Amino acid sequence: MSDGLLRWVVSLSRRKRGAVASAPTSADVATAKDILTGLVTEKWREETALRSLGDPGPMPVPWQSTERRELADHPEIIAKGTVAFPDSDVHIADMTRNFRALRRRRLVILGGPGAGKTTLAVQLAFELLNTRRPKEPVPVLVSAARWDDRVHPRLQDWLADSLATDYPALCAASLGPDVPETLVARGEVLPVIHGLDELPGAARADMLTELNRSMCEADQLILTCRTEQFAESVEKIGDVLTAAAVIEPRPMSAAAAADYLRMCLPPVSRPAWLQVLAALRAGDAPALSEVASTSMGLWLVRASYITPQADPTPLLKLGCGSAAELHDHLCDQLIPALVSTRRPAGNPPQPFRPQHTWTPEQVGRWLTYLSRQLAHSEEDPRDVAWWHLARHMPSLPIRAALAVAIGVVVWATLSLATELVPLQRTIISVLTALVVMILIGSWFTESPGHADFRLRGRLAELRLAFRAVVVGAIGAVISFVVTTHLQGMAAGLIAMTQVGLLSAIAYAVHGVIGLAECPTTATTARSPRSTWQADRNLTAIRIAGGLVVGFTMGGIFLYSKTGLITAIVAGLLLGLLSELMVGRHHAWLAYELTIPRLATKGRLPLRAMDFLDDAHSLGLLRTEGPFYQFRHIELQEHLARRRHPTPTA
């Protein structure tokens, strides 16, 4: 069952129960909180083990209150007469106590790529769950990329819908009606919103504005975002997140990094590891010290050598060289480590877990192809856009193949349904193929679109649709006059009816599709998948319109004494071709035509969107509105310049 259908069923069941049942009692709410606590704990226990967040302990990243005063509220509003998060190395339990000491318990976790923002958010949420007191809210992790203010203008509505979708047990009849809404409305949920930076700029600012507008004094919050994106949003709205402490990471010391790596190793480890740790503490491996000063670098060392139990001797040699060379070496080990440790999840989907099985060689080869395309991109060198994949291949062979296929269908249709001689059929088929090949040329450079049937503010499009109807009516009158002059009044009325009916239906369909078709911009798109689905839905609307026009034309052909099969086939063929060719957004069609060719060359899989989504879940890619981006620019640049085996099908 799709997420949208699941939400509709859950919403419908809640409405049905709400019509006959009373509001949840305090006992019902307490029971629901206990159930939610158990569900969230169960969901994240496996994930914390998978990400080694508590094994052997939290990564020793020191956090402190930001020094950028323009990003945080007045100190006296945040905490009582003291710095909320002092500049010191603290344990996750200390971080939790600091969070609980905040006046309103609101926290923004900032940092650069790989700084450990999401890791800290998960650790905080898990610690708050384990030490939750009865009257405290339940921390629930949600992705900022899932918020769409057009569907859920109020933050509370979005949170309630997320609870109902992610934890359907809360909608059990035994708990009473509207439990997710009640939990959110009463402040019994602490939203841990991660990845604010994955929203486009306008949407980030809108979310901050909505958070300030919708939160009451007792509402709590944890939010993660990259520092620069958060600063841009704060500047855009001209305000900070009310009463929220803002923290950023500091570099780890070499001694702290060595202690953490030692705790990750077995009690009796290889002598080579003792040499590596000693060199790290003594400063004899400056490159290793620099790389291990961030959570990303320290995690790379652990994932590349400790988890697979590899010989760490190369760390000594590379650790005495340049940090860039060591970082490249660790990046080579990253993809195999992630693919082998983060196995595909079942249903329901889980954060940070892929949904499909890929080999490390496949993931590395496909990401290498994407990184090299970005390196030669004339547009933004960071954005992986699914509709740009059609621009990575010459479109002429694809257009020619599609044109030939359509020409063959037309030739076969004419052969079965008409008495035209072979030469006539061939000429018509070739001309049709040429027209198709020319008209679809723009598909491969078009941006995605979506269907929007709202009429407000679209007077210009309505005028164009009205003019089209007028033209159709004039055509019907001309047909009546000409046919009456040649064949009489009765034939003229029939001709006018045929032309008028066809024109009315065809222009109505054209008008509806023309009004509905809108471009999907980076400021309105919420995620790559939603943009892809929206353009696919627009194509489905065109196909439906083509079927309507096709059956209408077939009926007119049948009325004109044409054979049944001929009338239906010819009408559908003309209707579908006419509707598919109109419009300015055919990105999904171009994508579907291009991906098979990319797959045969081994550059991307046939399920390219599934692969991109899984690469995002693995932590290799991030999303920025409708775009994917490499989560770490260093990994993108490393893949783009490294030598890779020639892709094979």
3-state secondary structure 164-223: HHHCHHHHCHHHCCCHHHHHHHCCCEEEEEECHHHCCHHHHHHHHHHHHHHCCCCCCEEE
| 3-state SS, residue 428 | helix
Residue 454 lies inside a defined structural domain of this protein: yes
**Same domain, yes or no: 34 and 106:** yes
Q: Give CA–CA dist 239/95, Å, rounded.
A: 26
Torsion angle in degrees (nearest 10) through CA of 34, 40, 46, 49: -90
pLDDT at residue 508 in the model: 66
Domain region containing 77: 3-249
pLDDT at residue 383 in the model: 84
Tokens of 599: 């797959």
The alpha carbon of residue 491 and the mean position of all alpha carbons in its chain are separated, in whole angstroms, by 58
**Same domain, yes or no: 60 and 193:** yes
Through-space distance between the first and last CA atoms of the chain, rounded to whole angstroms = 32
**Same domain, yes or no: 158 and 16:** yes
Place of tokens 């609980």: 100
pLDDT at residue 230 in the model: 95
Residue 635 lies inside a defined structural domain of this protein: yes
**Same domain, yes or no: 29 and 164:** yes
**6 band by pLDDT with thresholds 50, 70 and 90:** very low
Which residues in 485-496 are b (16+ Cβ under 10 Å) and which e?
eeeeeeebebbb
Is the pLDDT at 649 greater than 50? The verdict is no
Tokens of 520: 């999907």
**Same domain, yes or no: 267 and 244:** no
**Same domain, yes or no: 386 and 292:** no
Q: What is the pLDDT of residues 611-632, one digit of tens each?
A: 999 998 888 888 777 888 887 7
Give the whole-number percent of the chain exceeding pLDDT 90: 20
pLDDT at residue 235 in the model: 94
**Same domain, yes or no: 630 and 494:** no
CB-count exposure of residue 127 (10 Å: 0-12, 13-18, 19+): buried
- Find the CATH number of the domain harbouring 188: 3.40.50
Handedness of CA 384, 115, 93, 187 (dihedral sign): negative
**460 band by pLDDT with thresholds 50, 70 and 90:** low
Instruction: Name residues whose C-beta falls within 8 Å of residue 490's C-beta, 6 or more positions apart in sequence.
Output: none
**Same domain, yes or no: 64 and 201:** yes
Q: How high does pLDDT run on average in the chain?
A: 80
- Find the CATH number of the domain harbouring 636: 1.10.10.10
Residue 545 lies inside a defined structural domain of this protein: yes
Q: Which residue has the higher pLDDT, 580 or 137?
A: 137
**Same domain, yes or no: 229 and 310:** no
Q: Give CA–CA dist 442/437, Å, rounded.
A: 10
Q: What is the pLDDT of residues 559-577, one digit of tens each?
A: 666 667 667 777 777 777 7
**Same domain, yes or no: 226 and 202:** yes
pLDDT at residue 607 in the model: 93
Q: Which residue has the higher pLDDT, 147 or 279?
A: 279
Q: Which residue has the higher pLDDT, 412 or 81?
A: 412
Domain count, the chain: 4
**Same domain, yes or no: 245 and 194:** yes
Residue 377 lies inside a defined structural domain of this protein: yes
Residue 172 lies inside a defined structural domain of this protein: yes
**Same domain, yes or no: 49 and 135:** yes
CB-count exposure of residue 272 (10 Å: 0-12, 13-18, 19+): middle
The alpha carbon of residue 160 and the mean position of all alpha carbons in its chain are separated, in whole angstroms, by 20
Using a cut of 0.85, tell me whether the model's pTM lies above it.
no
